[in-house]
Amino acid sequence: MTPVTHDLVHATQNAFGTGSLAAQIPFGLYVFKRLLSVGVKSIFGVPGDYNLRLLEHMYDDSLRDSNGGTLEWVGCCNELNAAYAADGYSRYTNGIGSVITTFGVGELGAISGLAGACSEDVKVLHIVGIVDYEISNQNPEMRLRNVHHLVPRLNDSNFVGPDYRIYSEMVRDKIACSAEYLDDLSTACDKVDKVIEDIYKYSKPGYIFVPCTFVDQLVSSRNLVERPTITLQDSVTKTSPDEARKLTNKILDLLYRSSTPAIVGDVFCDRYGLTKELNDFINRTGIVSFSSVMGKSVVDESSPLYMGLYSGKGHVGSVIEKFLSCDLVLHFGIEKNEINYGNYSYTYKPDAKVVELHPAYVRFYDHLSKEEEIYRNVNFVDILRLLGEKIEVPRLSLHYDSKFTPYNPDDLKLDEIDFGNDETSDITQVYLQKHLPGSLNPGDVLISDTGSFQFSIRDFKLPSQVKYIAQSIYLSIGMALPAALGVAKGMKDYPNLHILDYGKIEPGYQPRLILLEGDGAAQMTAQELSTIVRHQLPMEIFLWNNNGYTIERVIEGPTRAYNDIAPWKWTKLLEVFGDFDGKLSRSSTLETRSQLLKKLSELKSRYSKNRKGIDFMEVRLATMDVPSQLSGLVKDLMKR
Amino acid sequence: MTPVTHDLVHATQNAFGTGSLAAQIPFGLYVFKRLLSVGVKSIFGVPGDYNLRLLEHMYDDSLRDSNGGTLEWVGCCNELNAAYAADGYSRYTNGIGSVITTFGVGELGAISGLAGACSEDVKVLHIVGIVDYEISNQNPEMRLRNVHHLVPRLNDSNFVGPDYRIYSEMVRDKIACSAEYLDDLSTACDKVDKVIEDIYKYSKPGYIFVPCTFVDQLVSSRNLVERPTITLQDSVTKTSPDEARKLTNKILDLLYRSSTPAIVGDVFCDRYGLTKELNDFINRTGIVSFSSVMGKSVVDESSPLYMGLYSGKGHVGSVIEKFLSCDLVLHFGIEKNEINYGNYSYTYKPDAKVVELHPAYVRFYDHLSKEEEIYRNVNFVDILRLLGEKIEVPRLSLHYDSKFTPYNPDDLKLDEIDFGNDETSDITQVYLQKHLPGSLNPGDVLISDTGSFQFSIRDFKLPSQVKYIAQSIYLSIGMALPAALGVAKGMKDYPNLHILDYGKIEPGYQPRLILLEGDGAAQMTAQELSTIVRHQLPMEIFLWNNNGYTIERVIEGPTRAYNDIAPWKWTKLLEVFGDFDGKLSRSSTLETRSQLLKKLSELKSRYSKNRKGIDFMEVRLATMDVPSQLSGLVKDLMKR
């Protein structure tokens, strides 16, 4: 490796005419400096020959802060897992989650993780190290070469050179809000910045394709000097002040005339960093709140104003009843899809007025008159802030009747459908649903994989500031396990970032990370447990062992072999994956209710201040045992 | 599940006016009958809600043969692994390897496996179960719905319906030779047949996107009656008889005038089922043969006519010397790329004449005059067959001088670079290269993952009819492990299919399957070992434990953390993955040369007739130990 010169600091003139210090630095270093500047402390990925020279720049001393802190590489077992981990990192930190892969073999392995991030509005940056024959000034004959990792042309590949951009065209305008194939070093830094800004702006993934020969070439660090960081706040679409005022007044008018308004906290509130603002607004105004499936845990469920999760037909009659009594619904951060909209069964009080607030529009809809007004190019970020400033609480005239009681999971009547009768009974998903929420402490982070149990979590009443993370619409099984790696790394890099009100957290409490994982899902991505062990990331893992794809069995083929999976010795998994002498983890099997309760209580109280190691609980469940929320949904889907 | 009626047999008129028996059968059943008709006995995949109804048709009694044999579903841990397994199944059987996944989450997980099959000319059929809102005659408002697994539009997704074909557009004309998105039941059967025909024709992967509501609807089985099977032979491009005769004569003229002709057996000979024809031609004519990297094991290396593997610069001086002495090179099944063409260093004797024979063209090139003639729309399949028919062996005048000795791996001079000196010495890759080939028996199947050791296999002298399987140009690490599942299943479905000359195989010998796997590669896809255990597929697995990505360390960052992987307790892996009581497998660690030799000899002789269980050998290798073939290549790449 030839040492690169990047200490050549010289004064330069920035675009705005003010003088500032900029240096010539290798482009690879620029990339990492920029990532560090936006708060990225961990990068997930897999090395490959087209990204190795890029990775080398991660070790540059200038990336070290005064405490020796720097970017950490988190090597994953495979690229799909790395993408999921980056997704988890972003969901926890609400910043950029980064994944680095190599041309073709790596990037395509990760592609489903990126599609998931796109569907779920997660800020993932995918950096792909690519071959440079097309770009660099080499022998033009090189461009005819079919290089390794690059799929050749379907026809005439012995005569015609490959399409170097074939993979980038698979994602551009499809699953990435921004995708820059760097082919000109002089604009490369601007493009990196642009992709990061776009990721914040749209809360969707972005791609940067980096030719392996660019990374050692020198570029100006001017952008870093002129714009020391790129923030979410700077990047999002701005609403014109006039328009913001006008819309805010319009909403306030509706609010002042409403007696039973409701606030729905949906996914974009989380993604645009508005969780605190929204809860403050709810608390100050006394307006009741509902959550959505994708926005679960945005509104504080421990508040007496929390009425439950509404998603159309839903599951809890009392929640539906309350929602359908609201004459005004302010739906903050709305995302409309099959899951969030309850298979498009989302309805309102027949004469309700609805305001949909979204990063790109505000829509007013009057259910009685069927009149709608849509305002484009306005961002709910500005509107929510202005609402908070402008609202005159005394002008509200809220009149919620007696049915508007705080959400109470007792309304699920789980006792009536729970057939176990003593502590040696089998654990059921209904029993779990009754007891798991109580084992959570305020501030814990709960992540669930796609699967049958996930459907019951909607109706959990979460303690204050429990952050809940799950795929809601992409629903790719296996995602949560590597995502938990990313979340755990985020919690290490930024402890307590999700705690917005320390008054509600036990002083000094170190939040737990709890992963709920199906057995079929776990087999998809299980090897990433070894990365969790390797980095000694504390975590509690509940592995629902129900002998296969129970969620599919409910839909079709309950006893078919295609819904079976291979039996694994789950409690030995962490030993094989790196905890050779059992010092880093504790694995157990839970078969009875008493074993479960004992473990839940132990986990709730143990290690509250210095949590270490991994707790892995294999929970044995009956093959066809599912929460009633899922049976209801499937019945509904079958009707179509 | 409503029983479907498909016993309604009636006479129908086929397209050619002849009467034949056809039935109305559900489309899902049609798909599986067609697969069975082309020789598919095992299907790999993962269930998902959009493919479950399709999978149900796999259990139809009419798919059972008189022995009760039928299609077997091989459920894989994840979709990438399933695609790799299908790839392995196709490589072994030279038929269609099938993988079934679900919309989005499944198909995108598999996409890198399909790109690999495309790069390596492998016949993989990917069937994706998709949502049908766009197609079926439902409420048009349904088309606006953002359904689960489907990435919504990047903009305006709350107003505009999704692009249901977004995933199919990612692969069409990029990594699939044929991709049919079924949107009309009346043409669906024809399109299934067309994709299968195209896969054979181009030896590339194809896609069928199957709406989940199509599978229970009735279609005519006419195609199955009129065309009971679709064969490779029927599907490939035909050369016009005149053209074939003309080109054959032209080649024969060259051959009769040559004194030192050579035959190169390249990858398409395998893919188009010409291995036997080619070897017969070599043996009848006495023309010397060379193999290529991608075509390794096509020409019989036990023949005295085998001169070695040539790929340009290559590694063995004596092989290069022989190749560069040939005045005529007939390169059968040629594929030009960086690996097969030795980083485009492929050269010839300065006055050599070269004939490139390819499925889509034949090219004549005279190196002295630089004159070339290219004939398009001709297929080397026809040419090779006609050459075999027309050649008059006595008219050949071969005069190979004394340097044309059969390939001898001693020319590698491995002893000179092997520093171990007694049986307690560490095992090195050079030592392996010396002793592993001798442990193979004629007819064994050898599969290697991408990694450092792979580069030494090129220079193995394989026993007769050992089939060698590896990715050569896509080079995605982790591919070989699930591919071995597919190969093993293929060997069970079609025992000894690769044996073309039983005279050279010990009577009754059951060929072994030997998987060579790096530790970094294994961690990518390790969970699929549990499927191998579950199906009790006999296999020998050598796990090269060299503490990480040694192949990357050679290129960059020999001691960097990014090239490290988590340490695993490899010998416990099969226990965790299903062999709970150790009855299905034997795991061991090999650290010394004597341990290795003992194991190699045991494996060579043991279980020759009734091979059972899995032998898993963790072979400890030094972190930076590589075969000299790799060091040479990297040195060469670095020069660019």
Domain range for B444: 410-639
Averaged over A366-392, what is the pLDDT?
A: 97
Q: How far is the alpha carbon of B372 from chain A, nearest alpha carbon, in Å?
A: 13
Chain A residues with CB under 8 Å of B564 CB are 75
Cβ A146–B104 below 8 Å, yes or no? no
Chain B residues with CB under 8 Å of A117 CB are none
Q: Are B225 and B286 members of one domain? A: no
CB B301 within 8 A of CB B291: yes
Q: What is the pLDDT of residue B472?
A: 97
Nearest residue in chain B measured CA to CA from A108: B112
Residue B338 in contact with partner chain A when CB distance is under 8 A: yes
Q: Of B209, B235, B261, which marks where a domain is finished? A: B235
For the cut 50, the answer to whether the pLDDT of residue A5 exceeds it is no
What distance lies between CA A82 and its chain's CA centroid? 14
Of B155, B175, B334, the CB nearest to A151: B175
Q: What is the pLDDT of residue B3?
A: 35
CB pairs under 8 A between A and B: 269
Residue B203 in domain: yes
Q: Are A246 and A147 members of one domain? A: no
Secondary structure letter of residue B426 according to DSSP: B
Of B543, B489, B546, B539, the residue nearest B516 (C-alpha): B543
Of B105, B474, B575, the CB nearest to A475: B105
pLDDT tens digit string along A188-213? 999 999 999 999 999 999 999 999 99
B242 is in an annotated binding site: no
Q: Are B537 and B622 members of one domain? A: yes
Q: How far is the alpha carbon of A243 from chain B, nearest alpha carbon, in Å?
A: 20
Residue A367 in contact with partner chain B when CB distance is under 8 A: no
Q: Of A235, A257, A275, which marks where a domain is finished? A: A235
Residue A22 has phi, psi (to 5 degrees) of -135, 155
Q: Are B99 and B171 members of one domain? A: yes
Q: Are B438 and B471 members of one domain? A: yes
Q: Are A278 and A222 members of one domain? A: no
Q: How far is the alpha carbon of A427 from chain B, nearest alpha carbon, in Å?
A: 24
Residue B75 in contact with partner chain A when CB distance is under 8 A: yes
B49 is in an annotated binding site: yes
Of the candidate ranges B16-25, B407-416, B597-606, the one whose mean pLDDT is the lowest: B16-25
Quote the mean pLDDT of chain A. 93
pLDDT tens digit string along B350-371? 999 999 999 999 999 999 999 9
A610 is in an annotated binding site: no
Residue B602 in contact with partner chain A when CB distance is under 8 A: no
Phi/psi region, residue A4 (left: phi>0; alpha: psi -120 to 50; beta: rest), is beta
Chain B residues with CB under 8 Å of A549 CB are 47
C-alpha distance from residue B94 to each of A473, A544, B91, B267, B274 (Å): 39, 40, 5, 12, 11
Residue B632 in domain: yes
Chain B residues with CB under 8 Å of A154 CB are 118, 173-174, 177, 202, 204
Q: What percent of chain B has pLDDT over 90?
A: 86
pLDDT tens digit string along A99-134? 999 999 999 999 999 999 999 999 999 999 999 877
pLDDT tens digit string along A78-106? 999 999 999 999 999 999 999 999 999 99
Q: How far is the alpha carbon of B108 from chain A, nearest alpha carbon, in Å?
A: 5
> What b/e string do you get for A27-62 counting C-beta neighbours within 10 Å, with b at 16 or more?
bbbbbbbbbbbbbbbbbbbbbbbbbbbbbbbbbbee
Phi/psi region, residue A388 (left: phi>0; alpha: psi -120 to 50; beta: rest), is alpha
Of B78, B109, B530, the CB nearest to A566: B530
B200 is in an annotated binding site: yes
pLDDT class for B60, splitting at 50, 70, 90? very high
CA dihedral A414, A419, A423, A428 (to 10 degrees): -70
Cβ A49–B555 below 8 Å, yes or no? yes
Best mutation target among B357, B550, B577 (most A Cβ atoms within 10 Å) is B577
Chain B residues with CB under 8 Å of A530 CB are 523, 566, 568
A519 is in an annotated binding site: yes
Q: Are A170 and A195 members of one domain? A: yes
Averaged over A172-190, what is the pLDDT?
A: 97
Q: What is the pLDDT of residue B8?
A: 25
Q: What is the pLDDT of residue B612?
A: 84
pTM confidence score = 0.96
For the cut 60, the answer to whether the pLDDT of residue A6 exceeds it is no
Distance CA B169, CA A192 (A): 27
Cβ B204–A577 below 8 Å, yes or no? no
Distance CA A518, CA A626 (A): 12
pLDDT tens digit string along A18-70? 445 889 999 999 999 999 999 999 999 999 999 999 999 999 999 998 887 78
Nearest residue in chain B measured CA to CA from A164: B174
Nearest residue in chain B measured CA to CA from A569: B576
Q: Are A111 and A45 members of one domain? A: yes
Task: List the end-to-end C-alpha distance of chain A, in Å, as a whole number.
Answer: 62
Q: Are A183 and A203 members of one domain? A: yes
Residue A443 in domain: yes
Q: Of B372, B395, B418, which marks where a domain is finished? A: B395
pLDDT class for B14, splitting at 50, 70, 90? very low
Q: CATH number of the domain that A147 lies in?
A: 3.40.50.970
pLDDT tens digit string along A519-573? 999 999 999 999 999 999 999 999 999 999 999 999 999 999 999 999 999 999 9
Q: How far is the alpha carbon of A505 from chain B, nearest alpha carbon, in Å?
A: 35
Residue B400 in domain: no
Secondary structure letter of residue A31 according to DSSP: H
For the cut 60, the answer to whether the pLDDT of residue B48 exceeds it is yes
The number of residues making up chain B comes to 640
For the cut 60, the answer to whether the pLDDT of residue A389 exceeds it is yes
Give the pairing of strands B288-291 and B261-265.
parallel
Q: What is the pLDDT of residue A632?
A: 73
A546 is in an annotated binding site: yes
Nearest residue in chain B measured CA to CA from A171: B170
Q: Are B523 and B386 members of one domain? A: no
pLDDT tens digit string along B281-338? 999 999 999 999 999 999 999 999 999 999 998 779 999 999 999 999 999 999 999 9
Residue B4 in domain: no
pLDDT class for A16, splitting at 50, 70, 90? very low
Q: Which tokens belong to B574?
A: 């099969």
ipTM: 0.95
Distance CA A414, CA A408 (A): 12
Residue A578 in contact with partner chain B when CB distance is under 8 A: yes
Q: Are A547 and A591 members of one domain? A: yes
Residue B330 in domain: yes
| Count of domains forming chain A | 3
Residue A603 in domain: yes
Q: How far is the alpha carbon of B334 from chain A, nearest alpha carbon, in Å?
A: 8
CB A47 within 8 A of CB A128: no
Averaged over A281-299, what is the pLDDT?
A: 98
* Amino acid letter, A435: H
Residue A404 in domain: no
Q: Are A205 and A245 members of one domain? A: no
CB A80 within 8 A of CB A527: no
B548 is in an annotated binding site: yes
Residue A49 in contact with partner chain B when CB distance is under 8 A: yes
Of A104, A146, A175, the CB nearest to B151: A175
Q: What is the pLDDT of residue B353?
A: 98
